[in-house]
Structure 1
């Protein structure tokens, strides 16, 4: 990795840490890449990896997937980039709403921007100021939501009443303290907190599946109970579907679990790696941010035409459901192979996932909450992930993270991945 080291030494003098997102940092130094194709990514030293990062879940088809590229080029507008409305923006909005059961949608750029819009809209609609988030979840990097994201359990208080902790330095302490933290999948505790704080809560924001800590599905009744309680207490329910959207099902986690939120945010797979996010929801809530409404919704790059061309290509490829169904089958196959290998070698490990999202935990107890995930075996995770990296699989070394397959992983790449996972697990024994 000599060339990556040389680039790092050059980069760190002009870029803090040598990376533009801290999540790309890696010991002993970041990797720098030169090309990608399908499920593979190649670094500047010529090392080819099976990519299990896949743009943090945004690349659903694979790198430079030819059917996507052809459609994308077909739908690119003639000289239009940003700052203007076009028929393309209407086409993509209509197609989005055919998939996702909401009344209206607006496009912005990133998940954090989408969540920021949602918070302003919820305040304007309800007349209340504060929000609630789930302990452990990451919903963006602004002050109100970067709270208790992967918190230190020695400082987080009791599970029935989590203490709001800043997810990073530089946040406004008063804003952090104003955010309510609930324990995902612990219904009685969640209900008690929300009833106590309902008078000040504009919305509850949650990933319907906690993917930024691996892959933790909700208890079957948790989301349904939350929906009913939010209605009772005049709190808007917001699903952060940046990671679940267009992967769990074409209609997102809300379709998969049969629970409809008031507002949703989407992104990642929506444009196969191009910069795009969406805010969608009930008409009466969405229209508080319409021109002349109670709050604004502005942005030079909102509805960026190049990104909308990518989204239109994505929707066309996903529409008949074939690709998503195959992605589910691939995910299930990988999960079964991992879990079988763990059984064969006597390892307390489990892989969980759906829709190309996969993650592995090493634990002798179930992982159904953030605190259970945080207490899994970090040392074994690091050894396993390190061995996978040695076997040329690009993985995260962070226990509470997530990994992804794309449609292009099917066939040879998936077979190689199964073999390398088995080899890495065997090395643990």
Structure 2
């Protein structure tokens, strides 16, 4: 239906211009306002199509307008251009942003960034080119300088702001941090248990599941969860993919895991995408599959969804243990021989760019073992406590109820 809407827009523009000169822009603007206020019409796909189409048209328009510009035209400008640039950069644009954001809850630091790097140029270039032709025909003085003046502003501001945008955002504290979120495909009880364990260690996680019941349980646990398929077009708009640095497929359905591995490997590179095998019987099939490289199989030979699910159902908990000189990796394995190591964690804070948390999952052919100072996140089996039988006074083993 997006192509049908585009056809209606073009028809409205043409008919309106035929009835009244230069009224087509107003007609399609009214058409857009009417469309946006329809309650029973799904326009998400139309908006996405509009963004793609606008990018193509604007890029083409810039090329066409710039093709009319000669290098000699730029040489007509004198030193007054720098005064004009100063007015545009430090007076006109900040004043425009201040007025347009007045009364909003936008932070002052964000307004300062907008005042410095907000887009400008395409409207001025398009309108200025049209006005320049009319002014030259009317023999208005210096009319031929309008287009070179506009493109000089565009060139200088694009170059200047491209070089200074990142330092300014960092100085004002509004720069988006490097991607630091682990996207977990699945919100089942295994994924929720692992997500809670990572969250306790200050690792940002975001779950995804097409089953509403699983998403509801995850949100009740304080874990953000996207309700839907993470490979869908809807997820591209509503799932915070720009913050994702690694993907772990923890669904009990190995086909869902395979689709996740295949999709996100192209976005994040294969080394940042991992998958959990559903059961030990499927290990060979997974390893032989091109979608499941051996280094992508999570939690080594001992890790499978069936075993993790069983331990969690019996009361197993995800916890972290620090490796030290006194408590080495070998000692840890002796003491926790029934635990399933999940991740190696280095660092203390995930939101600190200077010392971010570095998470390495245990995989089948993991080369580097845990080092001193790192933490091991593992699924610990349920603890065994000694209870006294009140009937005969004898002791018996019982699993601690948690």
TM-score range for the pair, normalised by the shorter chain length:
under 0.3
Larger RCO, structure (CA 8 Å, separation 6 or more): 1
Q: TM-score with structure 2 length normalisation?
A: 0.23
Q: TM-score with structure 1 length normalisation?
A: 0.22
Larger of the two Rg values belongs to structure: 2
More helix, by proportion:
2
